[in-house]
Amino acid sequence: MDWVKEFYRKQNQLSKECYSSEVEDYHKDKVSIISKYHDSNKRIRILDLGSGGGQHAAAMAMLDNTEVVAVELLEELCSHTKDLKQKHHLNNLTIICEDFYRLQFKQEFDIVTYYDGFGIGDDEDQRKLLKLISSWLKPESGRAFIEVYTSWFALSSSLRPVDIFRDVRRQYSYDFANNRLEDSWWSETKDNKRVTQTLRSYTPPDFRLLLEGTGLKEEFSIPCMAQADEWCYPKGDCWCKAITFMSSLSHL
């Protein structure tokens, strides 16, 4: 997991759109999945893991009666989240700049989310995180929403041509031995050094196997981020085009 800080730092530098945007409609669309479990008359506590620039955390804090804790490793991304908090007067948003494996909380959460980013490390690392999530959730009613990269996107992405935007290049590849999506970024004009993230991808039944021993079970999974230009966040039913799926988890 040693690539994590360097990769996300450089990705943020190369593509400001990734992490330094405003809260857009697609962020609001994506977080709408939690509304199923959110009775707006009751205050709920939400923990957002790997919150990046904070757009999803802010979108959740904009909903009625939510209290959101966003956890992010990189200072510069926490700083952008603080800007969003200030700009939108989100006093119900707390930002913790920390490694989520090191977190301890006195109070449990109604909802834990992890948008775009699950799969760093090996299966044992994912199980460790899922066990932690289980311990952070309220015993009966707690729900987690984990966005997981699909194995078929990981495989097919290796056939994609190099993406080009301005001087930035992005190339996907696939690690067949370990079923991992590899995503490399570099600049043609700056230092030219490639950085690569490698994320374990899953099919829904593989993900259910991963849950064994974590204290969590799948309630449902739905296609989430989609290929091509259609960003059909949870509204979509296009499994074949799904880059990611969103898995809703509860205690066993």
Ligand X SMILES: C[S@@+](CC[C@H](N)C(=O)[O-])C[C@H]1O[C@@H](n2cnc3c(N)ncnc32)[C@H](O)[C@@H]1O
Q: Applying CB under 6 A, which residues contact ligand X? A: 4, 8, 50-52, 55-56, 71-74, 77, 99-101, 115-117, 120
Of 117 and 142, which has the nearer Cβ to ligand X? 117
Cβ distance to ligand X smaller for residue 8 or 153: 8
Least Cα distance to 183 among 209, 201, 204 occurs for 201
Neighbours of 71 (CB within 10 A): 21
In the complex, least distance from residue 157 CB atom to ligand X, rounded to whole angstroms = 15
Residue whose C-alpha is closest to residue 60's, from 89, 83, 32 = 32
Nearest to 44 by CA among 92, 94, 95: 92
For the chain, the straight-line distance linking the first and the last C-alpha, in angstroms and rounded, comes to: 29
Residue with tokens 């987690």: 144
CB of 84 to ligand X, least distance (A): 12
Q: Say how far apart CA 121 and CA 128 lie, in whole Å.
A: 10
Amino acid at 113: T
CB of 229 to ligand X, least distance (A): 19
47 vs 216, beta carbon nearer ligand X: 47
**Least Å distance between CB 50 and ligand X?**
3
Complex with ligand X: residue 55 or 150, whichever CB lies closer = 55
Chain position carrying tokens 């603080």: 82
Nearer to ligand X, 103 or 155 (CB): 103
CB of 93 to ligand X, least distance (A): 14
Q: Phi then psi for 7, rounded to 5 degrees?
A: -65, -55
